[in-house]
Amino acid sequence: MLLVASYVFYGAWDWRFLGLIAISTIVDYVAGLRMAAADGATRTRRRWLTASLVTNLGLLGVFKYLGFFLESTADLLQFLGFEPNIPSLRIILPVGISFYTFQTLSYSIDVYRRQLEPTSDFLDFALYVSFFPQLVAGPIERAKRLLPQVQNPRSPSGRDLSVGSYLVLLGLFKKVVIADNMAILVNHIFSQTPGSLSAWDCLVGVYAFAFQIYGDFHGYSLIAQGVSAWMGFHIMDNFRHPYFSRSPQEFWKRWHISLSSWLRDYLYIPLGGNRRGRVRTYVNLLTTMLLGGLWHGAAWTFVVWGGIHGGWLALHRWISERSGSDPAETGWPGRMLKMFVTFQLVCVTWLFFRADTVGQAWSFMLSLGGSWHLTPLSEYGFGLIGLLCLPMVAYEAWVERKGDLMALVDAPVLARAFFYLVLLLGLVWLSAPAPSEFIYFQF
Amino acid sequence: MLRFVSRYPVPLLVVGALAVVEGGLRYSEARLSGDVAQIEEAPRQVRYAARDSGAGVLMLGNSLLAEGVDQRELERALEANLGRDVSVAKVTPDGTTPLEWRYLFRKLVVRTGEKPSVLVLAFGPGHLWDRPGASQVLRLAVHHVAAGDVGMLFNEELTDIESRAEFLTARVWRSYALRDRIQLRLLDLVLPHFRTERAKLLRRPGSEGGSHHDVADLRNLRELLEDAAGAGIHVILLPMPAPHLWPVEGPVETLARTLSVPILDVRDKVSLEPERFPDGEHLDALGREAFTEALGPQLGRVVQSVMAGSEVPLREE
């Protein structure tokens, strides 16, 4: 039933791409069983792992990156004085392909590493790959966690229902009220020539995008978690108040956790992690983040975004090693300062993430060194950010202090009722006049 | 019952609070917006125009008409001109076009049988075109559409499930239906430059440029004119003044000619300087007085002709 629902859900967008998800599913299902059957035969196991990697990364390569690489090659050849005759491809990116290929790859790799017993039930495995709440934008669930939940009978408890309702409501609020309102501001500012904007305008655009992408992606993840909870599934937390981070390392432990932990386990550690010397560690960090950036989208802006994060992680690690202590460990004024600085640096990286080109991002950076005068746009923008985002930040600070993401579910009845009422009325009265698509659907 | 309450206290508290908010909004709706108060006044206006004694003139339009014509002055001018008792009524919900006028006309006139002698449709530049996707679903749901016309609206205008769901939700839940007005009130109060900046941000690139229209884009106007003809009511089209003289578009003239509806254009009978439009769109008190003065005798002549059944030139200037 859930499998059919998941395929109908995905097929409703474009039924032709059901074939891709089916191919990934079949290849990894067979690869899992063959690797287990090969037991001691390392070459056979490696051959089946390679088949899984080639199939999944091949699909991703063709549908997501081929056009970009051909275009970039043509640009390079042109720059070198050649006249390339490379056709430009217009390939539709299948929604969610980056998420489900990584999810199914983790299964094959875990089976290869003997960290997971493969399942012999094809339908269970197919549901694990295509589970509709998190199919198109994650969280990227590991088989170790989700597959047993698929295989065993579930009966949602009363708490599952209330946790699910809390998550769905909060997720909707984050998306419809925060992200979509910020999107209108961001789209306007990023469609202007930076020269026509004051430095405050640019700053509003950057901050608004920081809250847009957080509200948008966290909102989706919460809705996915909540809907899953209603059905008795427990999906991982994908965010843990990332803007309270005090270092880049901490940021990546709190932001898009399912991807950052995937990159750590299946890329950074296999590359050698921090076990092969200082320089190699920095190179590994940079490589991992560059590929993480490229995972987000086939564009140089994402590569630069990943590169800056990689460089920042390496630099922070170098400073930590030189000072001999974790720079995040200080008193509360120091912690606040570090939180502030980390947020500002994260915002700088968001500039590259949001810009259409690296050139545009750079122009915005230069505009920040320009004229600092408040305009009606910046006053309105800061007002809107303050009105919609700051209460959410204050709420998250309270949750952070409690140390439990579900603190509200256990709060007193009146507090809960008040919170839900505010969310509901906010959804009705403060929703954006023009909705926008989830950002991560394009990845 | 007690067990139910003790088991689900949070949902019950939330639903209870929402019910209180809903009741409060329904009670104070008219105070939330002058436009709502005006719409609530509409049935009384229509009844006034449909009085048995004398001639009844119902003027239907939007804020251009609301600000542009003095109802009482016009009534006096028409009475003097026609030499008989005249009732002039104005129904002018904000930001409306023939889509809303058509359903409002059906609800207030066709379905009630309260028929004025003449219907004057006042419009500004581009106001008569159908605007697919831009229809004000929330206001249609609450104010403009009679229950018996919902099927027609679904067949002709709200053809997708999303807009139908929005319509039905707004129909039963006033907190939802009034969300645009509440948001406007709330954000205008706390955000600097809210109205101007929000309007700027929501303007689509290229939307300033004129687009090509033809008679097919006047479907709601045509239906409205046909409904009025079916009810035996004479219609007059009245272009309203703007800071710059704007032409009545060719397809509008064509449709008016086809349905024998006169266009009464008195804009060149009165000199209205741009200063008379302080917000760049609506007339001020002096402008309203001048325009009403110019309109009175001209409208009187046309009303007399249409009510006498004599031939009226289709373009009255």
Residue A382 phi, psi dihedral angles, 5° rounding: -65, -35
User: Nearest-5° angle of CA A410, CA A411, CA A416?
Assistant: 110
CB contact (8 A) between residue B179 and residue A191: no
Instruction: Kindly state whether residue A198 falls inside one of the protein's structural domains.
Output: yes
Instruction: Kindly state whether residue B200 falls inside one of the protein's structural domains.
Output: no
Question: Which residues are paired to B237 by β-bridges?
Answer: B121, B263
Q: What is the CA radius of gyration of chain A?
A: 23
* Domains in chain B, number: 1
User: In this structure, are A206 and A63 located in the same domain?
Assistant: no
DSSP A173-234: IIIIIIIHHHHHHHHHHHTS-GGGS-HHHHHHHHHHHHHHHHHHHHHHHHHHHHHHHHTT--
Tell the residue number behind the tokens 């800056």, with chain if given.
A308
How far does Cα A61 stand from its chain's mean position?
A: 19
Q: Nearest CA to CA, how far is B136 from chain A (Å)? A: 12
Residue B32 has a pLDDT of 75
User: In this structure, are A189 and A226 located in the same domain?
Assistant: yes
Residue B81 has a pLDDT of 86
Instruction: Kindly state whether residue B198 falls inside one of the protein's structural domains.
Output: no
The shares of helix, strand and coil residues in chain A, as percent rounded to the nearest 5, are 75, 0, 25
Length of chain A, please?
443
User: Chain A residues with CB inside 8 Å of B179's CB?
Assistant: 428-429, 431
Instruction: Kindly state whether residue A271 falls inside one of the protein's structural domains.
Output: no
Q: Nearest CA to CA, how far is A132 from chain B (Å)? A: 21
Residue B118 phi, psi dihedral angles, 5° rounding: -130, 140
**Closest residue of chain A to B18, computed from CA coordinates:** A421
CB contact residues (below 8 A), chain A span 348-407, against chain B: 376-377, 379-381, 383-384, 387
More confident position, A244 or B126 = A244
Residue B209 has a pLDDT of 47
Instruction: Kindly state whether residue A21 falls inside one of the protein's structural domains.
Output: yes
How far does Cα A328 stand from its chain's mean position?
A: 24
Q: Nearest CA to CA, how far is B32 from chain A (Å)? A: 14
Which SS3 state, helix, strand or coil, does residue A402 take? Answer: helix
Residue B2 has a pLDDT of 66
How far does Cα A160 stand from its chain's mean position?
A: 25
User: In this structure, are A129 and A42 located in the same domain?
Assistant: yes
**Closest residue of chain A to B20, computed from CA coordinates:** A421
Instruction: Please tell me the distance from the alpha carbon of residue B279 to that of residue B270, in angstroms, as a whole number.
Output: 19
User: In this structure, are A16 and A164 located in the same domain?
Assistant: no
B198: its two tokens: 């929000």
**For the whole model, what pTM was predicted?**
0.86
User: In this structure, are A70 and A145 located in the same domain?
Assistant: yes
B48: its two tokens: 């006034």
CB contact residues (below 8 A), chain B span 154-213, against chain A: 175-176, 179-180, 182-183, 186-187, 190-194, 196-198, 200-202, 205
Q: Is B230 exposed, middle or buried (0-12, 13-18, 19+ CB in 10 A)?
A: exposed
How far does Cα A81 stand from its chain's mean position?
A: 39
pLDDT of B133 higher than 60: no
Residues of A marked as catalytic: 296
Q: Which of A165, A384, A408 to mutate to test the interface with B (most CBs of B within 10 A)?
A: A384
Instruction: Please tell me the distance from the alpha carbon of residue B5 to that of residue A343, in angstroms, as a whole number.
Output: 45
Domain that residue A133 falls in: 2-151
**Each residue's pLDDT tens digit, B26-75:** 988 877 777 888 888 899 999 999 886 668 999 999 999 999 999 999 99
Select from B140, B148, B119 the least CA-distant residue to B58. B119
User: In this structure, are A143 and A188 located in the same domain?
Assistant: no
Give the one of A377, A383, A433 whose C-beta lies nearest to B190's C-beta. A383
Instruction: Please tell me the distance from the alpha carbon of residue A295 to that of residue A263, in angstroms, as a whole number.
Output: 10
CB contact (8 A) between residue B14 and residue A430: no
Q: Which of A189, A380, A416 to mutate to test the interface with B (most CBs of B within 10 A)?
A: A380
Query: Helices A358-367 and A332-354 sit at what angle, rounded to 10 degrees?
Result: 130
Give the one of A377, A421, A431 whose C-beta lies nearest to B14's C-beta. A421
User: In this structure, are A167 and A60 located in the same domain?
Assistant: no
- Please identify, among A151, A175, A194, the residue that sits at the C-terminal boundary of a domain: A151
Query: Helices A18-38 and A42-60 sit at what angle, rounded to 10 degrees?
Result: 170
CB contact (8 A) between residue B193 and residue A434: no
CB contact (8 A) between residue A376 and residue B13: no
Instruction: Kindly state whether residue A256 falls inside one of the protein's structural domains.
Output: no
Strands B118-123 and B86-91, bridge-based pairing: unpaired
- Please identify, among A151, A178, A203, the residue that sits at the C-terminal boundary of a domain: A151
Give the one of B13, B21, B190 whose C-beta lies nearest to A387's C-beta. B190
Instruction: Kindly state whether residue B9 falls inside one of the protein's structural domains.
Output: no
Question: Which residues are paired to B122 by β-bridges?
Answer: B238
Select from A174, A209, A203, A208 the least CA-distant residue to A384. A208
Residue B96 has a pLDDT of 87
CB contact (8 A) between residue B191 and residue A185: no
User: In this structure, are A101 and A196 located in the same domain?
Assistant: no
Question: What is the identity of the amino acid at B124?
Answer: G
- Please identify, among A116, A151, A186, the residue that sits at the C-terminal boundary of a domain: A151
User: Hey, what long-range contacts does A266-275 have (CB within 8 A, 24 or more apart)?
Assistant: A266/A105, A266/A106, A266/A109, A267/A291
User: In this structure, are A132 and A168 located in the same domain?
Assistant: no
User: In this structure, are A348 and A219 located in the same domain?
Assistant: yes
User: Chain B residues with CB inside 8 Å of A421's CB?
Assistant: 13-14, 17-18
Q: Nearest CA to CA, how far is B252 from chain A (Å)? A: 31
Instruction: Tell me whether 0.90 is exceeded by the ipTM.
Output: no
**Do residues B245 and B122 touch, judged by C-beta distance below 8 A?**
no
The alpha carbon dihedral of A228, A230, A231, A232 has a sign of positive
Instruction: Please tell me the distance from the alpha carbon of residue A99 to that of residue A139, in angstroms, as a whole number.
Output: 8
CB contact (8 A) between residue B192 and residue A379: yes
Instruction: Kindly state whether residue B96 falls inside one of the protein's structural domains.
Output: yes
Cα dist. A266→A220, A262, A271 in Å?
25, 6, 9
pLDDT of B153 higher than 60: yes
User: In this structure, are A216 and A355 located in the same domain?
Assistant: yes
Instruction: Kindly state whether residue A300 falls inside one of the protein's structural domains.
Output: no
Domain that residue B221 falls in: 29-125+132-153+214-316
**Each residue's pLDDT tens digit, B64-101:** 999 999 999 999 999 988 888 889 999 999 888 899 99
B92: its two tokens: 């002018």
Instruction: Kindly state whether residue B220 falls inside one of the protein's structural domains.
Output: yes
CB contact (8 A) between residue A380 and residue B18: no
Q: Is B5 on the interface with A (CB under 8 A)?
A: no
User: In this structure, are A43 and A168 located in the same domain?
Assistant: no
B138: its two tokens: 């929330």
Q: Nearest CA to CA, how far is A152 from chain B (Å)? A: 29
CB contact (8 A) between residue B179 and residue A380: no
CB contact (8 A) between residue A383 and residue B192: yes
Of A264-273, B131-140, B274-283, give the lowest mean pLDDT range. Answer: B131-140
Strands B263-264 and B118-123, bridge-based pairing: unpaired
Q: Nearest CA to CA, how far is A254 from chain B (Å)? A: 30
B157: its two tokens: 């205008």
Instruction: Kindly state whether residue A262 falls inside one of the protein's structural domains.
Output: no
CB contact (8 A) between residue B10 and residue A387: no
Residue B312 has a pLDDT of 61
Residue A403 phi, psi dihedral angles, 5° rounding: 70, 20
Element (H, E) at A97: helix A97-112
CATH number at residue B298: 3.40.50.1110
User: Chain B residues with CB inside 8 Å of A383's CB?
Assistant: 190-192, 194
Mean pLDDT per 10-residue segment, chain A (443 residues) = 89 86 94 88 90 92 80 81 72 82 94 93 94 87 93 89 95 96 94 88 96 96 96 95 96 96 95 88 94 89 95 92 68 89 96 93 88 92 96 96 93 95 95 78 65
Instruction: Kindly state whether residue B58 falls inside one of the protein's structural domains.
Output: yes
**Do residues A146 and A228 touch, judged by C-beta distance below 8 A?**
no
* Domains in chain A, number: 2
User: Chain B residues with CB inside 8 Å of A424's CB?
Assistant: 14, 18
Averaged pLDDT for residues B191-200: 89
CB contact (8 A) between residue A383 and residue B186: no
Tell the residue number behind the tokens 């946790």, with chain if given.
A163
According to DSSP, residue B314 is labeled S
